[in-house]
């Protein structure tokens, strides 16, 4: 059955337009891997038959995708797919998935771990390496927030990929970052192509990299089921300064802005090469950052997001300003959260007393169960619109240092060993209270 040129042109236009649907496009990636491709192709053929497309288009889709021997995208007749859709094979199949609304299939591997918060606490108490939860969870899944150059994901895949494969446990690693891939800002925070290719083609890891994403706006990803509702572990390495260095519920906007000007310098939003940017004048230097660099969200927002998305939460390479702002939120005593007072050493000593001294004296490499020195906060206020329920943590361990033997880390954490003038960072392991999957 020959293809009518006008019908073919209209179909190509329809398919190519779907390529710009970022949310659905990311969701479609999972559908073309070797595990799901045969089922995907059959679903596409069935959907085409039931569609209102011209008969010649339906027939061509069935013929091109209907070879039962196809197991990989490269086994498909690439030239025929390109003639039909105007796209190379992988993009063509993914665009057809969007056309026939098959992206819901992408959620099939993203199950919620069947763990209770008591199970997670017990595991963390027994294992010095919190990431070993991946070895005992029925679902080995991790969400890395603000993933940057993907160095942590790379180390994690190397550390756990083979072991989980031997156990027969699928290993899901999702990385989310706000940087746009085409941005000229952010420099070393962009992943280098070989690392990205290595993760995408990793034999043992179901990897997904979600770029140009605000971690606090995941509703569209939830709608198209591109991410899991809850992962075994949620991580954030080197939580951004100043984004999480000031808590808006504790500090007024005027206090925050004045401290930013005093410590960072004068700043303004400009355009550079057609791109929005934040210009900061610091110590006679002009620095350029992504436009959202000085957006203030505060640690409560980060803690709520992580407690909602992770059965276990890990914060690594936390600088001192962010750490203390997080720490005062974790303590039950409201006197720890002084209004409109910046957390200088003297203020911390005043508000935290012996707790501050115990933590400040903690040697590098050592850890402390926070509930051994103070009462953990009973209930945190909900500050995110999409997550209205209060939350809490039942167990919190504080470690001093950037890296620890046998524990995967980000490149930012590893650079601390060469930054002798920097205050040693912190490492937090937090077990949220949550309702286990039914």
pLDDT, residue 23, reads: 58
pLDDT, residue 27, reads: 67
pLDDT, residue 134, reads: 98
pLDDT tens across the length of the chain (438 residues): 678 888 888 888 888 887 665 556 766 777 887 656 777 887 888 788 888 898 888 888 988 888 756 768 888 888 998 999 998 988 898 888 888 887 654 444 478 999 999 999 999 999 999 999 999 999 999 999 999 999 999 999 999 999 999 999 999 999 999 987 777 787 777 888 899 888 988 889 988 888 888 999 888 777 667 789 999 999 999 999 999 999 999 999 999 999 999 999 899 999 988 888 899 988 888 888 888 899 999 999 999 999 999 999 999 999 999 999 999 999 999 999 999 999 999 999 999 999 999 999 999 999 999 999 999 999 999 999 888 788 999 999 999 999 999 999 999 999 987 777 778 999 999 999 987 654
Question: What CATH architecture does domain 113-245+298-432 belong to?
Answer: 3-Layer(aba) Sandwich (3.40)
Q: How many CB atoms lie within 10 A of CB 14?
A: 14
Closest by Cα among 432, 394, 123 to 307: 432
pLDDT, residue 109, reads: 47
Q: Residue ranges per domain, the chain?
A: 5-108, 113-245+298-432, 253-289
Q: Which long-range contacts (CB under 8 A, 24 or more apart) does 183-190 make?
A: 183/275, 183/290, 184/272, 184/273, 184/275, 185/272, 185/275, 185/277, 185/288, 185/289, 185/290, 186/289, 186/290, 188/149, 188/411, 189/148, 189/149, 190/149
> C-alpha angle 175/179/180, rounded to 5°?
110
Measured CA to CA, the distance from residue 400 to residue 410 in angstroms comes to 16
pLDDT, residue 49, reads: 81
Q: Classify 395 as helix, strand or coil.
A: strand
pLDDT, residue 28, reads: 78
pLDDT, residue 4, reads: 83
Measured CA to CA, the distance from residue 91 to residue 41 in angstroms comes to 13
Closest by Cα among 207, 237, 240, 244 to 409: 237
pTM above 0.85, yes or no: no
How far from 363 is each of 6, 166, 175, CA to CA, in Å? 73, 37, 32
Provide the token pair at 223: 């709608």
């Amino acid at each position: 059955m020959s293809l009518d040129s006008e019908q073919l042109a209209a179909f190509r236009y329809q398919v190519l337009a779907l390529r710009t649907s970022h949310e659905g496009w990311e969701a479609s990636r999972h559908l073309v891997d070797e595990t799901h491709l045969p089922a995907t192709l059959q679903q596409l053929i069935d959907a085409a038959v039931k569609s209102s497309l011209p008969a010649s288009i339906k027939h061509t889709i069935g013929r091109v995708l209907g070879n039962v021997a196809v197991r990989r995208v490269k086994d498909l007749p690439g030239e025929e797919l390109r003639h039909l859709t105007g796209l190379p094979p992988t993009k063509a199949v993914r665009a057809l998935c969007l056309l026939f609304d098959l992206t819901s299939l992408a959620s099939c591997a993203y199950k919620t771990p069947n763990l209770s918060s008591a199970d997670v606490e017990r595991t963390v108490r027994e294992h010095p390496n919190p990431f070993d939860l991946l070895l005992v969870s029925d679902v080995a899944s991790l969400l890395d927030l603000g993933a940057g150059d993907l160095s942590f994901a790379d180390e994690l895949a190397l550390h756990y990929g083979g072991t989980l494969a031997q156990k027969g446990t699928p290993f899901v690693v999702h990385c989310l970052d706000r940087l746009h891939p085409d941005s000229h800002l952010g420099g070393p925070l962009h992943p280098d192509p070989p690392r990205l290719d290595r993760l995408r083609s990793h034999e043992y890891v179901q990897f997904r990299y979600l770029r140009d994403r605000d971690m606090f706006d995941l509703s569209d990803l939830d709608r198209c089921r591109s991410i899991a509702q809850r992962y075994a572990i949620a991580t954030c390495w080197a939580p951004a300064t100043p984004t999480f260095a000031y808590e808006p519920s504790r500090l007024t906007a005027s206090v925050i802005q004045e401290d930013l000007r005093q410590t960072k310098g004068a700043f303004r939003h400009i355009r550079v090469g057609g791109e929005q940017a934040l210009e900061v004048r610091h110590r006679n230097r002009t620095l350029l950052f992504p436009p959202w660099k000085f957006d203030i969200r505060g640690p409560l927002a980060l803690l709520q997001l992580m407690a909602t998305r992770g059965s276990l939460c890990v914060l690594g390479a936390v600088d001192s300003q962010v750490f203390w702002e997080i720490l005062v939120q974790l303590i039950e005593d409201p006197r720890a959260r002084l209004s409109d007072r910046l957390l200088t050493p003297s203020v911390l000593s005043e508000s935290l007393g012996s707790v501050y001294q115990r933590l400040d004296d903690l040697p590098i490499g050592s850890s402390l169960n926070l509930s051994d020195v103070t009462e953990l906060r009973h209930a945190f206020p909900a500050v995110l619109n999409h997550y209205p329920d209060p939350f809490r943590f039942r167990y919190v361990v504080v470690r001093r240092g950037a890296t620890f033997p046998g524990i995967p880390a980000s490149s930012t954490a590893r650079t601390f060993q060469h930054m002798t003038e920097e205050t040693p960072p912190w490492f937090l392991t937090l077990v949220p209270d949550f309702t286990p999957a039914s």
